[in-house]
Amino acid sequence: MEVGQGNMGARHDAEGWIGVSETAQEMLGRTLIERPCLIAVPPLHRVPLRPGNVVELVGPSASAKSEILLQ
């Protein structure tokens, strides 16, 4: 094997994964096979979230968006 051929395989795998196109309905059908744990963290604890809801978190840098998602 030449040097760098392993990287080409990884690149091909990544391009194949990125190139997949699916609708939101298909994605939710694939990911919501089991009922997710919906113990929400503040400020989401005030919103009546249910399985199948889609939530968008928007805010400036360093406003804890990723931290909320990690909860």
Instruction: Quote the pTM value.
Output: 0.30
The pLDDT assigned to 15 comes to 73
Tokens of 39: 């113990």
Q: For 3-35, what is each residue's pLDDT tens digit?
A: 455 566 677 677 776 777 778 888 778 777 765
**Cβ pair 50, 40 in contact under 8 A:** no
Task: Express as a percent the part of the chain with pLDDT over 70.
Answer: 62
Task: Express as a percent the part of the chain with pLDDT over 90.
Answer: 0
Could you tell me which residue, 36 or 19, shows the higher pLDDT? 19
Residue 56: name the closest of 46, 38, 44, 42 by CA.
Answer: 44
The pLDDT assigned to 67 comes to 78
Residue 34: name the closest of 51, 49, 22, 48 by CA.
Answer: 51
